[in-house]
A and B are shown apart, each in its own frame.
Chain A
Amino acid sequence: MKTRSIQVESRTERLIAVRDFVSEAARAFGFGDEDISKIALAVDEACTNVIKHAYRSDPTKIIQVHVSAGNGTFEVAIRDDGVRFNPAQVQPPDMKEYLTHYRRGGLGVYLMKSLMDRVEYSIAPGKANEVRLIKYLPR
């Protein structure tokens, strides 16, 4: 199991550094361009949610991104100590309704689930919030 980490300030201009970091790790693990793009986008969406919602755009906060890769499984864990996010409150969007009423925002969680094989959340009092984005290497 190989692991690598990066931590960045909670600012949108740091998203590009996170995407580059994750893309490089995914490439090293053996993913092709299409999967690398999907992983980078999913991680961007998770970090954007942390910046906007968990940290409410406070640029002094820190986001930790940990990649662990082994046995055909690539996992990116994004951790923050901001406002707790309850995944049970996120309803899967009805895309037809969504498009009909020109709603915006909230597309990130839907994209993350569509782009990755698994999305898991850990939230517990006194612990960092964590979202884990998992993709399996095609055989």
Chain B
Amino acid sequence: MSEFKIGHREAETVSILDLKGYLDAHTAPKLEEAFQNLLRSQRYRIVVNCRELSYISSAGLGVFMAFIEDVRNNKGDIKLTNMSPKVYNVFDLLGFPLLYEIFKEEQEAVTRFFDRAR
């Protein structure tokens, strides 16, 4: 699975996943595993940074759909940032901007969690 990598950082109480490469039916299980690990550790404030994500297919979009309900039921959220226009277009085509908050910059998404907490 060398064509897709996930980095994991923590910023205060927010978990940040950095996606890199090609997210398709082959690599989607890797993202699924990353979300499962976060939920297992009760990390529900999640920012997904797509700066280095070159490609996404519906298999990748399906992973976001699979976890969003669980995450929100635990007062968390999955927020997306730094998408290239190409990747954003795929999200947009399926109406995902109605369901997910998408930010230009990672810091805006992280801050948003604390706005809400106040």
Main secondary structure on chain A at its contact with chain B?
helix
Cβ contact of A12, chosen from B24, B95, B98, cutoff 8 A: B24
B82-107 CB mask vs A (1 if < 8 Å, else 0) is: 00001000100111101100000000
Q: Is A110 an interface residue (CB 8 A)?
A: yes
Q: Is A37 an interface residue (CB 8 A)?
A: yes
Cβ contact of B99, chosen from A45, A51, A99, cutoff 8 A: A99
Main secondary structure on chain B at its contact with chain A?
helix
Of B25, B61, B69, the most chain A CB neighbours within 10 A belong to B25
B86 contacts across to A, CB distance below 8 A:
34, 37
Q: Is A75 an interface residue (CB 8 A)?
A: no
- Contact A103 B65, beta carbon cutoff 8 Å: yes
Determine the distance from Cα of A41 to Cα of B25 in the docked complex, in whole angstroms: 12
- Contact A15 B26, beta carbon cutoff 8 Å: yes
Count of B residues near A, CB < 8 Å? 24
Q: Is B68 an interface residue (CB 8 A)?
A: yes
Q: Is B57 an interface residue (CB 8 A)?
A: yes
B62 contacts across to A, CB distance below 8 A:
104-105, 107
Nearest residue, chain A, Cβ from B70: A102
Q: Is A130 an interface residue (CB 8 A)?
A: no
Cβ contact of B94, chosen from A12, A34, A111, cutoff 8 A: A111
